[in-house]
Structure 1
Amino acid sequence: MTTTLITGANKSLGLETARRLVAAGHTVYAGMRDLTTGEAARELGAVPVQLDVTDDGSVASAIARLPELDVLVNNAGIIGGAADIDDLTPEIMRTTLETNVVGIVRVTQSALPLLRASANPVIVNVASGLGWPRFLLGHPDAQHVLAVPYPASKAAVIALTVQYARSLPGFRVNVSDPGFTATDFNGHRGHQTVTEGTDATVALACVGPDGPTGEFHDREGRIAY
């Protein structure tokens, strides 16, 4: 049995990832800041666990609840605000990076001892095409995006993933791009469903020991560097 922890799993992409991995036979722990929002995850067969990626104590307590861990999906994130450059402040930038980047490091570092005990340790970090300069500069879906914090944080997630993969050769560590998916982040304007938006994440969460590592994937497969 594969044991999986997903952060930010109370709704949207995280909840759909939980649903699909439960269906694939994983024992899924659904991390969320507020357990009162955990009924949907519980109904899917996942185990809700209180986990705030910005809080050391919360992360440590959540990891301590796990009997074992094979797959970590770092999905939690915030949009960050400051859609207009004149609204950007250091505090908004700091808060976005704390959740979207430092939060991944906090959870991953805490989970490493359990993951190292797995026969097939897997980490999937959920980023965005908006963190990919080629996409951000040239894709029609990105032309309306002027915000700095969110794309910058997701660019950091992509780089972070590559360096984790290099540092953990016995692991499979990859990063996914959900694509323009209808979620609260974009007022449900995205043209993909949450199922389509989790295709890459779910596929990467299910790789074997001979699977890819250090790669960036969307639902069509690897995104070339």
Structure 2
Amino acid sequence: MNVGADGRKIAVVTGASSGIGAATARVLAAQGYHVVVGARRVDRIAALAAEIGGTGRQLDVTDEASVAAFVEGLDRIDVLVNNAGGAKGLASVAEADLDDWRWMWETNVVGTLRLTQTLLPALIASGDGLIVTVTSIAALDVYDNGGGYTSAKHAQGVLHRTLRYELLGKPVRLTEICPGMVETEFSLVRFDGDQERADATYQGLTPLTAEDVAEVIGFAASRPPHVNLDQIILKPRDQASARRNVRTG
């Protein structure tokens, strides 16, 4: 399929099978982009692509061959949203599961690096490229039993911020989105599908929704070429930091 043959700008969104990724794809499609959505769950991205008039492709950012197949034929890219990521477990550093740490680093850090490297020439060639990396307030703070995730998100944030320096003078803008608590499938993945533990994460407070974050990403994408929103931190009213929130229920 010749993506972009209709003349629309092209946006790529990773981790788009649910949550922030899926919501962002809908926002960008509404803004007129042809959105290429990628995730491991092919049935979900196929349905999303059909809904928004975009393109759905299988993508595992931890797999080189998968990334190569995903970007095949994508000669023009205007926006890249690095959203694929996640957390596993809440073990202390002393009891850390090394496989969980490897998964978090491979997905959040190396996966972001792999896809960004691959698409960077096309983003520069577009004349007004935008790279949005969805990190977390965990990229700015730490909390007990979160060392694997916070270290991976810190590294992902440093990768993105370093690229901001390295691309200075090039026609590419870079925006880091740092959300606090967002009610998506994030906690369900962290707790290996334990719905009860996932639900308890947000009990007694009102978290952000995926749509809240997607609207902010859409705003960044709609700015004129000379405006770069370097870093955007958004949290629910009930949350002050990664370690402090208030629960009323």
Q: 1:97 aligns with which of 81, 92, 105?
A: 105
Change (3 A) 1:164 1:85: same
Aligned pairs (5 A) from 1:12-161 = 12-38=19-45, 39-133=47-141, 136=142, 146-161=145-160
Q: Specify which structure has the higher proportion of helix.
A: 1
Q: 1:84: Cα distance to partner?
A: 4.0
- Distance in 1 separating the partners of 2:14 and 2:98: 26
Quick one: percent identity of the two aligned structures? 32
- Distance in 2 separating the partners of 1:155 and 1:207: 26
For each residue in 1:148-192, what CA deviation from the matched residue of structure 2 results, as whole angstroms up to 9, or x when unmatched? 111111111211111101111221012101321111123352611
Task: After superposing the two structures, state which structure 1 stretch, 61-70 or 157-166, moved more.
Answer: 61-70
Q: 1:197 aligns with which of 213, 236, 240?
A: 213
**Any conservation in 2 of the 1:101–1:153 contact (CA below 8 Å)?**
yes
TM-score normalised by length of structure 2: 0.78
- Distance in 1 separating the partners of 2:153 and 2:182: 16
Other structure's SS at 2:11 match: strand
**Any conservation in 2 of the 1:15–1:41 contact (CA below 8 Å)?**
no
Instruction: Identify the residue that residue 161 of structure 2 maps to in structure 1.
Output: 162
Instruction: Identify the residue that residue 247 of structure 2 maps to in structure 1.
Output: none
Instruction: Identify the residue that residue 178 of structure 1 maps to in structure 2.
Output: 179
Gaps of at least 5 residues in structure 1 are: 137-142, 221-225
TM-score normalised by length of structure 1: 0.85
The number of aligned residues is 210
Q: 1:65: Cα distance to partner?
A: 3.0
Instruction: Identify the residue that residue 216 of structure 1 maps to in structure 2.
Output: 231
Other structure's SS at 1:80 match: coil
Task: After superposing the two structures, state which structure 1 stretch, 27-36 or 3-12, moved more.
Answer: 27-36
- Distance in 1 separating the partners of 2:216 and 2:137: 12
Other structure's SS at 1:69 match: coil
Q: 1:86: Cα distance to partner?
A: 4.8
CA RMSD of aligned residues (A): 1.9
Q: 1:85: Cα distance to partner?
A: 4.0
